[in-house]
Structure formats: C-alpha cells, structure tokens
Amino acid sequence: MSMIRDLRAAVRPSLRKSTPVQPGYDTTRDPSATSAVVDCAVYRDGRRLPKTACPTPRAAMREVRRDGGFTWIGLHEPTEAEFAGIAAEFGLHPLAVEDAVHAHQRPKLERYDDTLFAVFKTIHYVEHDELTATSEVVETGEVMCFSGRDFVITVRHGGQGSLKGLRHRLEDEPELLAKGPSAVLHSIADHVVDGYIAVAAAVQDDIDLVESEVFAAPAGKGGPRGADAGRIYQLKREVLEFKRAVSPLMRPMELLSERPMRLVDPDIQKYFRDVADHLARVHEQVIGFDELLNSILQANLAQATVAQNEDMRKITSWAAIIAVPTMICGVYGMNFDHMPELQWKYGYPMVMASIVGICFTIHRALRRNGWL
C-alpha cells in the first residue's frame, strides 16, 4: 500500500499539470485551491449554498466570514505544497498539518488554540473466498479532521473510507447541520465506528470458521496437524491491526463525550456518548478476538503435538515388533557350528513359527494399550 501511495504521489503532479482548471478556480491567485480538494461547500442554517458561491476554499471562507455559517472542505491525500495554502488560510497549526499530510498516525484528539484536530483510523473488510496464510482480512485508512468555529477540513488517506455518502446524508438533515462543525465531527466519528461494527461481525465469521475447523476432529484421527497454524496466525495479525485502530480511539471519544469543550455544541456532545458506547463494545469484541485466537492457536499446536506423539508411538511399536525377527535372524546368521536345533528337520519351521508368535503377542499387547 505504501508503494502504491508513493507511486501515486509521484505521478499526481504530472497529471495535474495537464488537467484543465475548473471554471472559477484560479490556482495562480488562490493557493488554497488544489486538485486534492474533493469537495468544498458552505453551509448556512443547515443548508448548502450553491457551488458558485464558494468555488474555492478561500472564497468559501470569505463567504462564511461575511454572512456566517461554516465551510466543509474535503481533501484526499494532499501533498505539503497542496495543503500549504489551505493551512495558511485557516491558520492551522504546523504540527497538525504535518500529521495530516504524512498520515500513519495513531487515533487521537488534540487542541490547537481554537481548532480541534482528530485522527480516525478507518477499517475496511477485504472479501475473500477462502482464508489462507497470506489473506488480507482488514485494510486500514485514515481520516483527519480539523474542526474550528466556522470550518471543518477533512483529510482522507487510503482508498477506503470515502465521506461522500456521509456528506449527502448530513445534507438531508439540515437541523443537524445547523449545529455547526461539531455536528460534522460527530457524524465522522459515528461513521468510522459503525464501520468498526460491520468489520467486527465479518471477522467474527472468519474466527468461527477457523475455530470449527480446528476442533472438527480429534487430533491423530483425521484432525488438524498444524496446517492451520499459518491461517490462525495471519488472522491474529489482522485482528492486531484492527486493535491498533480501535484501542487508541477510546480516550478521545471519552473526552468528546464527557468533557465540555467550547468547540463542541452541548447538544452534539450527548451524541458522542452513543459513539463512545458503540466503540467500547467493539473494543471488547476485538480484545475477545485476540484472546480467542490465542486459545485457538494453542489448541491447534497442542493437537499437532498430540498427533506427532501418536505417530512416534506407532513408529516405536512397529520398531519393537520388527526387532524380534531381526534379532533371531541375526543370531542364526553368525555361522556357528553348534546352534540350537540347527540339524533338526523341523528347526526352520519352528523358528519361523516362534518369530510369528512373538510378533503377534507384542502386536496384540501394544494394540490393547492403545499404541497401535
């Protein structure tokens, strides 16, 4: 994924040079207008203004400062140069800007003067016909959100986690959008956590399948012999990736739901409690997944060990049986002149019968004791 992003970043500038500038976008005069902008809108009283009223981020901010409302600007994987104009226009802190551009951040919530900076890890379940030792189960992305008194700037990284559908749903609820940027911040958090719930249900199905296969048959009688260990370990790694997205977000959600903040509407803060509750439930599920996979892996390895022990018992048993004819034939192969029953007419049949009888007795005793 990092290689693809690097290649995309290298190719993007050349593509943008040949892309015609949309009407109303004067990139030579407005450094905040970049091709990384996915959407730019101004909302007043919960309603979105026409596109002509805010063709660029700078124009959107001027509109907001003149007549009120707030602007929501969405970007996808901007470079430092592309984000510099917007950062300067909205007075974003350099440390937060650096985190937003370079991505690969832990989920967190930070406050810089009159701006909240939140980082969310998005999780997408990767569909697969069969779980293998190299299957990718979850794919992660990131959504950074700058929330101020009259603006929201979202920066998305990764191919998943698009906010286009979320924006359309919010525009159908003008009463909620009228609450301002904190309503958008809550909707993004709720959208991300709802994605966690869906992924947790899908991962649960994969774990149930692996668990049923491991305990389908007793070891040594057609049961698993360690072949599933690779799949279990891969699934555990994917669950760990899931855990890294969920666990660090617990504290930010607690702050947003419990601590009063000037930039969060009190009515919206109540909704953050619901998001925090859902996140806590997912966190418990992920912790349970990790512990359950540990138990499944240990059980699988124990079954493999039992199967190996049974194999060794069988090998040892047959070695004991074969040792009888080997010993007797070795004695008679020493070419001594005086051997028991060597000149007797029935000496050979008697020795062969003795070998068969002794081997049969040993075999029966070992089988009775469960070694064969």
DSSP class per residue in 285-309: HHHHHHHHHHHHHHHHHHHHHHHHH
Task: Supply the pLDDT for residue 162.
Answer: 84
What are the tokens at 206? 């994969």
**Greatest distance between any 2 Cα atoms in the chain:** 124
What are the tokens at 50? 């026409």
CA distances from 241 to 25, 120, 138, 140, 247 (A): 40, 14, 8, 8, 10
Contacts of 246 (CB under 8 A, 6+ apart): 121, 196, 279, 282, 283, 286
CA distances from 309 to 214, 312, 314 (A): 18, 5, 9
For each of the domains in the chain, give its residue range(s) and CATH number, in order of start.
Answer: 2-305 (3.30.460.20), 310-368 (1.20.58)
**Euclidean distance between CA atoms 124 and 242, whole angstroms:** 10
Task: Supply the pLDDT for residue 6.
Answer: 47
Query: Quick one: CA dihedral 73, 77, 80, 81, positive or negative?
Result: negative
DSSP state of 225: -
CB distance 145 to 74 below 8 Å: no
Tens-of-pLDDT digits for all 372 residues of the chain?
343 344 344 434 433 333 333 333 333 334 555 578 888 999 999 899 987 667 788 888 888 888 889 999 999 999 999 899 999 999 999 999 999 998 888 999 999 988 999 999 999 998 888 887 788 888 999 999 999 999 999 999 987 778 989 999 999 999 999 999 999 999 999 999 999 999 999 999 999 888 888 877 555 444 444 447 888 888 999 999 999 999 999 999 999 988 888 888 888 988 999 999 999 999 999 999 999 999 888 888 887 787 788 888 888 888 888 988 888 888 777 777 767 676 777 777 888 888 888 888 888 888 888 887
Point out which residues pair with 70 in neighbouring strands: 43
CB-side neighbour CA atoms (13 Å) of 43: 29
CB distance 246 to 163 below 8 Å: no
**Euclidean distance between CA atoms 95 and 7, whole angstroms:** 25
